[in-house]
Structure 1
Amino acid sequence: MGGQRVAALLLIPFVENALKHGVVHRPDQPVAISLTLPAPGRLCFEVRNRVGPHPPGATTGIGLANLRRRLALLYPGHHALEVRNDGTEHYTRLELDLGPV
């Protein structure tokens, strides 16, 4: 990435959430993690995992809220975060503009 850096531990919560909330015990439904550099100075990180039913109140959303706040502080106007959950699959995509190469 030409000397560009991603903030320390920024991507870890995405993987943690997939392992904590995902269906990870089935080999036919793996967690998919992708890290690409689609353009100079641009990073794309995606995590996709199957989810099972959760009892009411099992998730608080605090981790995602903290992550959104951290992104706003570290990359104001230079990030895009997409989070989708349709009840069977959870998908997260983070794009970071790391600046000029």
Structure 2
Amino acid sequence: MERKTISLPRLGRLTPTLESTMLKITEEVGELAQAIGKFRGLSGEQDRKPDEEVVRAIVSELLDVAQTATSMMFVIEDLYGIDMEAEMDKHIEKLKQKGYL
């Protein structure tokens, strides 16, 4: 199986807190759920968009969720001195032990 890695940048010109970042994650997850609802026809629209257009909207919202979660990791790293690299190594080891990798 080919292993892919997604890397997202640290955003500049922001001063996020743990709380503001969590609120942003919640907002982005809501937008992702809304996009998925449109894909499944759960939003009550009479006029449906082509599947490809809706899937691209889902991907866009999913990337917003991932970016915001990445930002939260940087916030935790900065505020609490957590070694995120070491934590990611532990996470990968956990995935291996569970047979996901």
Give the TM-score of the pair, scaled to structure 2: 0.32
- Of structures 1 and 2, the larger Rg is shown by 2
Bigger strand fraction = 1
Give the TM-score of the pair, scaled to structure 1: 0.32
